[in-house]
Amino acid sequence: MSIGVTTALLAGLAALGLFLSLALVRVLRPLQTAIEERGIPDKMLPRIGASIARFRVQMGDGSTVTDEALRIGTTLVGFFLPHCPSCDRLHARLLAEPSPWPLLAFVVDAGPEDPDAQAVMDKFAAVGRSGLATDEVRRAIGLGDDAAFRTRVGNGILTAAGRRLPQVIES
Cα(94)–Cα(72) distance, integer angstroms: 22
> What fold does the segment set 56-169 form as a domain?
Glutaredoxin (3.40.30)
Residue-range domain boundaries for the chain: 1-40, 56-169
Please name the helix (run of DSSP H) or strand (run of DSSP E) that holds residue 18, with its range, or none. helix 3-38
Cα(55)–Cα(106) distance, integer angstroms: 13
| pLDDT digits 0-9 by tens, 22-74 | 888 787 777 676 666 665 556 667 788 889 999 999 998 999 999 999 998 99
Closest CA to 156 of 76, 79, 78, 69: 69
Q: Which residues of 77-110 are buried (b: 16+ CB within 10 A; e: fewer)?
A: bbbbbbebeebeebbeebeeeebebebbbbbbeb
State the pTM of this model. 0.70
| pLDDT digits 0-9 by tens, 98-151 | 888 999 989 887 777 888 888 888 988 989 999 998 889 888 888 765 555 677
